[in-house]
Chain A
Amino acid sequence: MKADMKQTEQWVWDISFDEARYLYEHRHMNNYVFAALSVYHSGTAPVNQCVKIRNSIIPSEYLEPIKQLVKLIEYFDTEDPTLLRIHSSYYIYRLLGLLKNISCINIDKITELFSVLAFIPILIEKKDGLMIWKRPVKRKKSTHMVRLFELLYTDISVHDFTEEALFNDEKEPNNSDPYFYISRFVTRGVGSVLGMIENGIPLKEGIKAFHYIETKMRSFEKAHGLSSSLELGKNRNSAQLRYRNTLYLYGGNTLERVGQYNDAFEWYTKDIYYTECTQHIGFYLTGLKTTERLLCAYRITPKHREKKLLRDLIDLFLIQSLKNSASYAKIILDFVDSKPDLDLSQERFFLENDRFMLFGGESTREPFLLSLLYHKIIHGIDYGDIDYKKYLIYDSGYL
């Protein structure tokens, strides 16, 4: 399989399931992307069939938007893909908006329902050509990527690294905020390491680079008075959690790939292995990413008792993330409903002062993809073994 992986310009939808699995297990592929590809390649989802929902098993408060979302399957082959996608995004926000009362009693049921529905946004976005991964399977090994990777091993400061990272990207604004520099440093640094891993450097070499990033990150945080751990009561922890997620999730994934499970566990749970951290989630996509780290930690720990509390912690993070998604959904729906002239086919709505609001794409699909991961990792339900018939009734005839 390794010899076949020469596809610098291939996109994730173009590769076979075996190729995807090889990348996922031995090089690099995002968990969400692998989950989406697995659902697609398993071919078990009821696409092109007339399906209805089983009213009796779905909590009544979620019934209406789910009914509308499921109804879109009927139009899968006949309707304009962009129109379908817009409808899908809108109904998903209606559904997310209802999650404000989610609790430990029903989190398992809701995520099961979401994992069943996941194929709808996945396939609708695919059909409309929306990118689930915004680059080729294997990033082009550019001089920029190599330069950044090499810089990680030097004593270059985070500030200078960030400036250097922007040398071919003049649109980036100047900023005096240390969070700007450290976020950019970690994102670009990790991106360069992953790019090099995709291009064949030994994983151990990648791990070494991740450690360099961590050292620079911690030193910068200390020098700029940013909390060295996610201390309680500090402002901006949500921003800090976001860039740390990037480092510790992908660093943890790489450690896991080389079988260093204890180290991987440490990276997956670093700074977030306590319940108080749920208060720092902020934006729900950051919360879901944090949950993803904990799920990865759960996946590799063999200790029964540790799993028990870790599962609870995962649930607490997921509950808080989904509650936050409900708040965001309300803002989005209010915004969309009050502006009939908005172009809903966009993934982002640009506002004043370079601000924007996420609308389509990752912000709608990630609660579903995380639910797929949750059921795979917690309950061992393989992506190809999802019990669609539990929630959906298949009509006898094809459309």
Chain B
Amino acid sequence: MIRPLHPGATARAEKGWLAANKWLLARRFSQLSILSLFLLGPWFGLWLITGNLNSSLIFKTVPLTDPYVFLQSLFAGHTPETAAITGAVIVLVFYALVGGRVYCSWVCPLNMITDVAQWLREQFKISGSSTMSRKTRYWILAATLILPFVTGSIAWEMVNPVSMLHRGLIFGMGLAWFIVLAVFLLDLLVSRRGWCSHLCPVGAFYSLLGTHSLIRIRADAREQCDDCMDCFMVCPEQQVIRPALKGLVKPGTDKSAGPVITSANCTNCGRCIDVCAKDVFHFGLRTNNNVNNSYTNSFKNNSEQLNHSSGVEVL
């Protein structure tokens, strides 16, 4: 079946451009704001936040430290000072609550690059993709944690495109554009969502960090789904949607899955909410993931919502 419309076109037509893009816009706003806050210092002398994503200081008082680089440093045999420990704990708790990969979709500057690559991929209808296991990133994560043991240095930071881009924009890029370009080309020509969803160990780390995160995307109105596949098309981690949306039977058990997208790989980007014309998805908590209850409850809620709204489309 050939789909004539772009993913999200139906939602745009039915909900309006703004409503069909609100989470994407919010995400870009978040990414750019965070980057701008870091750039205010070097550009305009406004030092609200100093440092970079690896470790920073807000208002010269609150430390923040990337727990991933912190862990690598620990594995290299170094005992960090209190500032780094405090900073790592703050960041750890935050992402453990809101979703580990919120870092990827709401903070990481490289995500904007890979999103552009993905957008161009769609524009130019580049469909070929080399298949890599999505688990590769965990192997790479393991490698980056073993290397400090062996070499005594934080080896991953020598090439990490994420920190390379962020630090580069603030302190000077040097030749780091080449690494960013490599990631861009990988995502554009070699593999669909190759970097963020297959290789990046930073994302893998934050996935694990947010395994039990409180805030999750829910498909409470999943019975409204008309199988348009738009959410699936835009999702950077396509595999995470189906269990929640289709209540897919978990292999080996009799249970079907509840409406919460529980996979830690979900980046909480909210793009599925945007592109769904039926408003199947929404941000929520991971609680109340009971299959039947939520089914009926959400159905009620949803029909109420539908009645409330002007009711362009009535089932």
Instruction: Tell whether A pairs with B.
Output: no
